[in-house]
Structure 1
Amino acid sequence: MSVAATTTGTSIEIDGLSKRFGDFLAVNNLTFRVQPGRVTGFLGPNGAGKTTTLRMLLGLVRPTGGTATIGGRAYQTIPEPIRTVGAALEATNFHPGRTGRDHLRVLAATAGIPDTRVDELLELVGIPAAARKRAGGYSMGMRQRLGLAVALLGDPHVLVLDEPANGLDPEGIRWLRGFMRHLAGQGKTILVSSHMLQEVEQTVDDVVIISNGRLIRSGTMAELHGPATSLVRTSDPGALAGALRVADVTSHSADDGGLIVETDDLRLIGDVALRAGLPLWQLQPQVSDLEDMFFALTEGQNRNLGATDAAAPHEMDAIAGRDGGNEK
């Protein structure tokens, strides 16, 4: 994955990572890097291998091959990992009879973190009023916020988040987007798995797309969107295309009779049309949709799509239960 500039900090490196559950190859020779100071979206259909990859990164599942490291080290070898990497893989692993604040206090005490950090985080994630309620009565959105507070408890350099927007209302999703951008601005390395493609498009800097455990595409959002283009409609598309060629601008016909111009400089297109004496009926920049691109890249490739009750996934679940991991 290319980035505009080299950044310093703690990176995540996945190198030739594979995981086999019996006859099922959940992750297949996967390689990508997550840069500090950036939000990286980790996308793929259900059963693509996302959760298994995250669990291998966090030492919860043993890889069959390859490596997954944080700052060049396997998770198991990181001293005081709570201060290096924070993870929120599930929003359900809270004692239902314990308050949110007490849940954080217990974890903080085991790591030598003061209670002041707990209260600071409850304010930061927006649940100070709910902190004294029992976690068993929390909504899904409140559990997501509490899980994020747990991940941030040790002020880690790296955050690994699995579907953090699940259960959040529109206001909560907007808050999460700004919160992740704020953390990336502090130089933190953020890897976020999500199926909410439109939300990811507004949040992330880089994207990693996998299907069937294999890397399908990775790059910056700008790279995945491709070159900038504009849609133009006029009375004589052929004449406008000729005028644009004179101005050293490439264009081609659209299926519906419009003209696709390979620039997002609308003023340039307008000036060329004016000189050519051609009226413009429509002139707008085109941006490829992440959702369309995602389905175009993964359609027809996902072996598990619509097959959640098939024998192979059930067998994988049984094996994963013995190995400490279960891919959703």
Structure 2
Amino acid sequence: MTTPPAPSPSGTGISVRGLTKTFGSFTAVDDLSFEVAPARVTGFLGPNGAGKTTTLRMLLGLVRPTSGEALVGGRRYADLPAPMGTVGAALEATGFHPGRSGRNHLRVLAASHGIPDRRVDELLELVGIPAAARKKAGGYSMGMRQRLGLAAALLGDPDVLLLDEPANGLDPEGIRWMRGFMRHLAQEQGKTVLVSSHLLGEVEQTVEDVVIIANGRMARQGTIDELRGDPAVLVRVADPAGLARVLQEDGLDVQPEDGGLRVTGADGARIGERAHAAGHAVHELRPLRTDLERLFLELTESPEHRNRNLATGTEAA
């Protein structure tokens, strides 16, 4: 009996293919290609000037590509039959009239797309600002503006959500809420979430996939686990050279690190047992994983990815 193939993920994905954007002699995005899988949270990372915001704006049709294409569900944003029901975006926390209440801001957007007011009230509850809804948005804190922008992005119940630095201005409780909310949107509602951020530690706790760019070019893409690489263990003993010989005889990869040994190819239990059998007293034994911040810095500070435009004093977001 033939086993049927596993079903492909359903939902709306994002495709960026050979995307390039130049402003005169300045190249903001340079032949960039990547895929964002449906129903997952993907982190879009890069240093200042990497081209993240320019790429998001090209996805939304706000900036015309010099070449290449940025597609949502296989279509350019301009060709989507129902844009607000396909893509929601929160690129900045200033897209509202300061003299209008948060609720009225959303009501105006809703009315322009035939969305009933009850959806506005649902979203104000959902993002946690119902008490401030009747206050003028010009008096909102940055965190409240972020929540209002998120509510606006969700008005049409879109399949895809583009968020640019959504945790800016949020307190620790708000950041934790945002983390859980993005996961809920992807895992429970099947939405595709692409989030640009510089808060690497927070992104690492939130996203499933990562796209890292530098100088508008792809630096690395993969799942969090793929980017971290093989798990390793740090072990400290009085005689690291002697233990290194023992472990290498077992076929393990052993490298000196921080006064101890970084061992790849076995878990802590096996390494501890082998050290004990060889007569080495273990002073420290703990798992090591390449954290996202370390990987990010290694990639973006390497000579090939260092920001080539800084010498001209010009940066792209």
The alignment's TM-score, normalised by the length of structure 2, stands at: 0.92
1:228 matched to 2:231? The reply is yes
1:62 partner letter: R
Matched position secondary structure for 1:98? coil
Matched position secondary structure for 1:76? helix
Which residue number corresponds to residue 97 of structure 1?
A: 99
1:219 matched to 2:222? The reply is yes
Which residue number corresponds to residue 268 of structure 1?
A: 270
How many residues end up aligned between the 2 structures?
308
1:203 matched to 2:206? The reply is yes
Match of 1:254 among 229, 250, 256: 256
**Superposed CA offset, 1:91-137 (max 9, x none):** 10111111111111111111111111111111110101011111010
1:112 matched to 2:117? The reply is no
2:62 partner letter: L
Match of 2:129 among 127, 130, 144: 127
Distance of 2:265 and 2:87 partners within structure 1: 42
Which residue number corresponds to residue 317 of structure 1?
A: none
Which residue number corresponds to residue 141 of structure 1?
A: 143
Match of 2:295 among 293, 296, 301: 293
Distance of 2:84 and 2:212 partners within structure 1: 28
Which residue number corresponds to residue 303 of structure 1?
A: 308
The alignment's TM-score, normalised by the length of structure 1, stands at: 0.89
1:192 matched to 2:189? The reply is no
* 282-291 or 269-278: bigger deviation: 269-278
**Superposed CA offset, 1:265-315 (max 9, x none):** 2112222222223210000011212222212111151124486xx3x55xx
Matched position secondary structure for 1:167? coil
Partners of 1:45 and 1:305 within 8 A in 2:
no
1:11 partner letter: G
Measured on the aligned residues, the alpha-carbon RMSD in Å equals: 1.8
Distance of 1:5 and 1:203 partners within structure 2: 25
1:164 matched to 2:163? The reply is no
1:71 matched to 2:76? The reply is no
* 26-35 or 192-201: bigger deviation: 192-201
**Superposed CA offset, 1:59-79 (max 9, x none):** 001111011000000000101
Which residue number corresponds to residue 84 of structure 1?
A: 86
Partners of 2:50 and 2:213 within 8 A in 1:
yes
Shift of 1:237: 2.5
Residues 96/306 of structure 1: CA separation in 2 closer, same or farther (3 Å cut): farther
Shift of 1:203: 1.0
Gaps (5+ residues) in structure 1?
314-326
Gaps (5+ residues) in structure 2?
1-5
